[in-house]
Amino acid sequence: MNDDAENLFDVIESGVGEGTLQRVVLSQPTRRSQTTTNRVEIRPIMLKEKQFYQWSGLRGSQAFHENHDPQAILTALRASIGISYRHIHLAVEGRQWSARFSRRGKCRLIQEKHASTPSNSSISTDHNRKRQYLIPEGQPVPFLVQTGIMTPTGQVRSRHFHKFRQINRYVEFIADVVDKLPHEDVIHIVDFGCGKSYLTFATHYYLTQIAQRRVAITGLDRRNDVVQTCHKIVESLGLVGIHFEQGDISTYSPSDHIHLVVSLHACNTATDDAISQAVRWGTDVILSVPCCQHELNAVVKAGQIPLLSRHGILQERFCALTTDAVRSALLEQVGYQTQVLEFVDMEHTAKNLLIRAVRRNSNSESPQLEQVTHELKQFCSVFQIPDLHLQRRLQEFELLQPPADIFPK
Ligand SMILES: C[S@@+](CC[C@H](N)C(=O)[O-])C[C@H]1O[C@@H](n2cnc3c(N)ncnc32)[C@H](O)[C@@H]1O
């Protein structure tokens, strides 16, 4: 496969992975193709709130369409592009490409300049819009319009529907803990590793416009470019009670008591820095969606986890789950009632767990503390799990006893 063909598949795969693929048209059947369909069109649709892709065309004079899930559409495209069809037209997130395969199978990919996406495919194709979202469709929400997720009239653009759904799913978690946060006073929130901050703006919108609370939200990220973009959004929308800073999670120091710490998809041990900072400050609620938990996988020795270590992917998943299980047990040990919940459907991302920790009030004991501590000791002993970053940080802050008391050597 030449570079252009690889690039073409990269664009398609990331478009499907990120839900930004808008249209693919396959035409000019190859000589060896058995197809009677001269042209097929693939476009995203929503069925029962799940992302599918509709593959349609004409067989003779008979129209047909088939709905495929994201994995199946990738397989079908791989089996057709350059093999059954020589010409491919592609639209992903407002950009368009065309690719042509020579008779020898060599691909030439061209990104079309200044091409815009047809407007009739830009609105969400959801076939099942009955579900009531906390941030509903149909009413323009300034930050969603600004970030291109909604049209100015409040319709969700199809390529952003998964993001809209993720935002709403996340807002449900905020709604679930809103009673644990101040009712009258300003709610102080830090969003660690805020990135482009869709979810930070969503928190601000939900709390100020729907729950009618006063907030002071700080979005922190080490990347200056994302912080600058967020500044511009705040400025252009005239938002009050939200600001962004460039900095590192591990060294950030707030000037007020923080009621809610959020860390969503902060990479690897940045999640542990976020959690340990929050615990150190006595934060009332922590919402954390861990991401790329490489720490344990990098130190597990060959054969250490019987059976699973034979397969890289199984060991990797075991390590990720173990890291999150240890995190939630440690949070119990340092005074938080902790739950691990599903954040978004597994089909969209493997990074789909949310750790929710609510600080127990000082005189209420955890009914399961003894049991959790016992299970943690036993588990780590059986699989020889070493101290993880969160343990070390909590020990450094003297919030957790030294390792010898927790893990038998
Ligand atoms: C995958 S993005 C997630 C963005 C956003 N929270 C979301 O869920 O859409 C992770 C972000 O965390 C930031 N980040 C990672 N480690 C960090 C650290 N130690 N301090 C500050 N920001 C960090 C990265 O720069 C990046 O913008």
Tens-level pLDDT at each residue, the chain (409 residues): 777 888 788 788 878 877 888 899 999 999 888 888 889 999 988 887 788 899 988 887 778 888 999 989 999 999 999 999 999 999 887 778 899 999 888 999 887 765 444 433 444 554 444 457 899 888 899 999 998 898 888 888 877 888 898 899 999 999 999 999 999 999 999 999 999 999 999 999 999 999 999 999 999 999 999 999 999 999 999 999 999 999 999 999 999 999 999 999 888 899 999 999 999 999 999 999 998 778 998 988 888 888 998 888 899 999 999 999 999 999 999 999 999 998 875 545 556 899 999 999 876 677 778 899 999 999 999 999 999 999 999 999 999 876 544 444 3
Torsion of CA 263, 265, 267, 271, to 10 degrees: 30
Distance CA 122, CA 334 (A): 48
Ligand 1 centroid, distance to 195 Cα (angstroms) = 5
Residue 43 and residue 23 in contact, taking contact as beta carbons nearer than 8 Å: yes
Domain edges within the chain? 3-121, 142-406
In short, whether 266's Cβ falls inside 6 Å of ligand 1 is yes
> Does an H or E element contain 151, and which?
none
Ligand 1 centroid, distance to 269 Cα (angstroms) = 11
Distance CA 164, CA 221 (A): 22
Ligand 1 centroid, distance to 270 Cα (angstroms) = 8
CB atoms near residue 346 (< 10 Å)? 9
Pocket test residue of 245, 265, 276, 390 for ligand 1, highest count of atoms within 8 A of CB? 265
Distance CA 129, CA 47 (A): 9
| CATH code for the structural domain at 142-406 | 3.40.50.150
Per-residue confidence (pLDDT) for residue 272, from 0 to 100 = 97
DSSP secondary structure of 221-279: ES-HHHHHHHHHHHHHHT-SSEEEEE--GGG---SS--SEEEEEEEETTHHHHHHHHHH
Which residue type is seen at 12? I
In short, whether 222's Cβ falls inside 6 Å of ligand 1 is yes
Per-residue confidence (pLDDT) for residue 302, from 0 to 100 = 81
Residue 296 and residue 319 in contact, taking contact as beta carbons nearer than 8 Å: yes
DSSP secondary structure of 383-396: TTPPPPHHHHHHHH
Ligand 1 centroid, distance to 109 Cα (angstroms) = 33
Supply the residue whose CA is at minimum distance from atom 13 of ligand 1.
Answer: 193
Strands (E) in 182-236, as ranges, are 187-192, 215-221
Supply the residue whose CA is at minimum distance from atom 1 of ligand 1.
Answer: 265
In short, whether 249's Cβ falls inside 6 Å of ligand 1 is yes
Pocket test residue of 200, 203, 222, 273 for ligand 1, highest count of atoms within 8 A of CB? 222
In short, whether 167's Cβ falls inside 6 Å of ligand 1 is no
Looking at the DSSP assignment, which residues form a beta bridge with residue 51?
A: 46
Pocket test residue of 143, 163, 166, 192 for ligand 1, highest count of atoms within 8 A of CB? 192
Ligand 1 centroid, distance to 42 Cα (angstroms) = 33
Give the nearest ligand 1 atom to 291 CA: 1
Give the nearest ligand 1 atom to 221 CA: 22
**Residue 103: both structure tokens together:** 């008779």
Angle at 274 between CA 268 and CA 279, to 5 degrees: 135
> How many Cα neighbours within 13 Å face the side chain of 123?
11
Question: Strands 95-101 and 85-92, how do they pair?
Answer: antiparallel
> How many Cα neighbours within 13 Å face the side chain of 289?
18
In short, whether 320's Cβ falls inside 6 Å of ligand 1 is no
For the chain, what is the total number of helices (H) and then of strands (E)?
12, 14
Residue 54 and residue 43 in contact, taking contact as beta carbons nearer than 8 Å: yes
In short, whether 226's Cβ falls inside 6 Å of ligand 1 is yes
Q: Which residues contact 132 (CB under 8 A, 6 or more apart)?
A: none
SS3 state of residue 55: strand
**Residue 361: both structure tokens together:** 């009030």
Ligand 1 centroid, distance to 249 Cα (angstroms) = 9
**Residue 1: both structure tokens together:** 């496969």
In short, whether 112's Cβ falls inside 6 Å of ligand 1 is no
Ligand 1 centroid, distance to 280 Cα (angstroms) = 20
In short, whether 248's Cβ falls inside 6 Å of ligand 1 is yes
Distance CA 398, CA 409 (A): 20
In short, whether 264's Cβ falls inside 6 Å of ligand 1 is yes
Residue 27 and residue 8 in contact, taking contact as beta carbons nearer than 8 Å: no
Give the nearest ligand 1 atom to 263 CA: 6
Four-residue CA torsion sign, 326, 332, 336, 342? positive
